[in-house]
Amino acid sequence: MSTATSRYVQIRPDNIPADGKISFKNGFPMLSFTISAQEGLLDPSTIRVSGNFAAFKNNLSTPTALQTGDNVTMNNRLGIFNVMESLTIRSQRSKLICENIRHYSKFMNSYMAMTSSLQDQMGHLAETCLIMPNAETFRKSVMESPGAVPQTNSFSAHLPCGFLSSGNMVDLRADAFGGIIVEMLLQPDSNVLYNQNASTTGIGDAHYELSNLFLTCEVSDMPADMSAPAGSGVYEFNTITSLYSSINSTNAQIQYNLALRNVLSAFMTFVPVSNINTLTQDGQATVQLSGDGTTITDLAPITRVQFLKGGTKFPADFDFVTNIVDSENAATKVVDPQLINNFIDSVLPDYTYERYSVSPANCNRDYNMVNSATTQTSYGLIPEGGSVYGLGVKYGLGGAGEDFSTEQFGVSIESNLKSDNPQGIYIFVKARARLVYNGGSVQLVQ
């Protein structure tokens, strides 16, 4: 039996300026890498994007570093993933989109909470992805510089997505699957950075910058028993489809035509629309609904949930009534355990059930939407990584999935949302997909 040797490949971006620095503010919102067609098998799970991250207070010719007192930070659970608006995997030859996850940072906020422990976040994820479970430690160690010279943080981040996490090898030969293109759309600075005291004084031009970027991956030489022409093949993986909507009523109805044949699960997270794309609030947080009719900063808990298929209750034929409906439990700070359990099941891969950082400390109702570095009830100071919340549903038994190609996916949400305070909803649908390739052509079947 022959043993294939592996080589490690380092690839520079396709589209960087002469100085090698990428900044959304300075007109470079897209980052692209091409793994060319070659005689070899790519292990997609080894793909990592590495480089340096730095944040600045202004946009002068020599930008000023962020320092103590500026109170500018990012979402600490996301780290470097804060800057990624979308992740796209393409076929190099046909430019076919194999997978496209929009609102990638919002997806990663839930994903990281479900797949990494606090020890992971303080250990290797702090080194590789600039993640910390404590907001204060994150701000001081990643964002602020001790002196006038801006602090530069090195990272080497993996890119969780269905295509790269399939467990299968990609045949890079030109007459097989061929090469792939990895594209990342960067976030606006105002949706990445924010002031912990909801003030923009002196930080109107605050921005981040990426430099010394490169992609690394592992490519194995073609085994002797695969030296013949490739012909056709199939690459199977679980893909993520992302959607965005908003609600502003006590009874919200959401319906979508997914056009997907094998849906495994769906989950959604929330954030006030007014918090998105502003330097005064954390637009990446996954918080509960807010605006209970008294103030827009008080939480407006969900009281009843129905998941629907074709307008009827499915997969559960009953309503999920939460633990705050009756007067006896109206003041409880504990979230409904059934809804959170369903949320975890819809996000968490089956093989990581013992590796997550969801706890009563970060999954509760004991906070408000006031942004303050000193108010202990502020959503920005929630311990153990920050707020974790969402709704989710899992379909099928044993990964069988559900057909939504002809019937609508829907969810009905009743809550105490009585203020005029629109809530953004980010919906992520996990479904099984197949890429069929033949002679260099690739077709996506979902």
23 to 62, 152, 171, 182, 418: CA distances (angstroms): 14, 14, 34, 18, 40
The CB density around residue 269, as the number of other CB atoms within 10 Å, is 27
Q: How far apart (Å, rounded) are the C-alpha atoms in residues 437 and 92?
A: 13
112-126, 139-153, 197-211: least confident range: 139-153
Task: Specify the higher pLDDT residue, 7 or 327.
Answer: 7
Q: Which residue has the tokens 């496209």?
A: 100
User: What's the confidence (pLDDT) of residue 442?
Assistant: 85
pLDDT at 73 over 90: yes
Structure confidence by residue, pLDDT tens digits, 328-349? 566 778 899 999 999 999 998 6
Between strands 409-415 and 207-220, the pairing is unpaired
User: What's the confidence (pLDDT) of residue 103?
Assistant: 97
CATH class of the domain whose range is 6-229: alpha beta
Work out the angle at residue 388's Cα, subtended by the Cα atoms of residues 385 and 394, and round it to the nearest 5 degrees.
135
List the chain domain ranges.
Answer: 6-229, 235-434
Average the pLDDT over 268-274 and give the result: 97
Q: How far apart (Å, rounded) are the C-alpha atoms in residues 331 and 287?
A: 18
pLDDT at 350 over 90: no
Q: What share of the chain is helix, strand, coil (3-state, %, to 5)?
A: 15, 35, 50
Task: Specify the higher pLDDT residue, 334 or 83.
Answer: 83
Average the pLDDT over 2-23 and give the result: 85
Structure confidence by residue, pLDDT tens digits, 390-406? 999 999 876 678 999 99
Q: How far apart (Å, rounded) are the C-alpha atoms in residues 177 and 81?
A: 28
Average the pLDDT over 51-72 and give the result: 89
User: What's the confidence (pLDDT) of residue 194?
Assistant: 95
Q: Which residue has the tokens 């307008």?
A: 311
Structure confidence at residue 102 as a pLDDT band (50, 70, 90): very high
pLDDT at 101 over 90: yes
DSSP-assigned letter for residue 176: T
Average the pLDDT over 108-114 and give the result: 94
For the structural domain made of 235-434, what CATH number should be given?
Answer: 2.70.9
> Six-digit token pair at 198?
């909801």
pLDDT at 301 over 80: yes
Q: How far apart (Å, rounded) are the C-alpha atoms in residues 12 and 20?
A: 10
DSSP-assigned letter for residue 399: S
User: What's the confidence (pLDDT) of residue 339?
Assistant: 94
Structure confidence at residue 444 as a pLDDT band (50, 70, 90): confident
pLDDT at 68 over 90: no
Q: How far apart (Å, rounded) are the C-alpha atoms in residues 32 and 36?
A: 13
Do residues 411 and 308 lie in contact, with contact meaning Cβ atoms separated by under 8 Å? yes
User: What's the confidence (pLDDT) of residue 295?
Assistant: 94
As a whole-number percent, the residues of the chain with pLDDT over 90 amount to 73
Question: What is the DSSP annotation of 98-123?
Answer: EEEEESHHHHHHHHHHHH--HHHHHT
Q: How far apart (Å, rounded) are the C-alpha atoms in residues 344 and 339?
A: 9
Structure confidence by residue, pLDDT tens digits, 16-35? 888 889 989 888 899 999 99
DSSP-assigned letter for residue 187: P
Structure confidence by residue, pLDDT tens digits, 171-215? 998 888 999 999 999 999 999 999 999 988 888 899 999 999 999
User: What's the confidence (pLDDT) of residue 326?
Assistant: 65
Q: How far apart (Å, rounded) are the C-alpha atoms in residues 189 and 209?
A: 9
Do residues 265 and 346 lie in contact, with contact meaning Cβ atoms separated by under 8 Å? yes
User: Averaging pLDDT over each range in 14-28, 46-60, 348-362, which range is the top one?
Assistant: 46-60
Question: What is the DSSP annotation of 123-165?
Answer: THHHHHH---S-HHHHIIIII--SSSSPP-EEEEEE---TTTT
User: What's the confidence (pLDDT) of residue 63?
Assistant: 87
Do residues 162 and 237 lie in contact, with contact meaning Cβ atoms separated by under 8 Å? yes
Average the pLDDT over 25-46 and give the result: 92
pLDDT at 290 over 80: yes
pLDDT at 228 over 60: no
pLDDT at 2 over 50: no
Q: How far apart (Å, rounded) are the C-alpha atoms in residues 262 and 400?
A: 8
Q: What is the mean pLDDT of the chain?
A: 91
pLDDT at 388 over 80: yes
Nearest Cα neighbor of 70 from 201, 231, 217 is: 201
Question: Any residues with CB less than 8 A from the CB of 300 and at least 6 apart, and which?
Answer: 288, 289, 290, 291, 292, 293, 415, 416, 417, 418, 419, 421
How far does Cα 409 stand from its chain's mean position?
A: 22
pLDDT at 419 over 50: yes
User: What's the confidence (pLDDT) of residue 1?
Assistant: 38
The SS3 call for residue 354 is coil
Nearest Cα neighbor of 441 from 30, 92, 70 is: 92
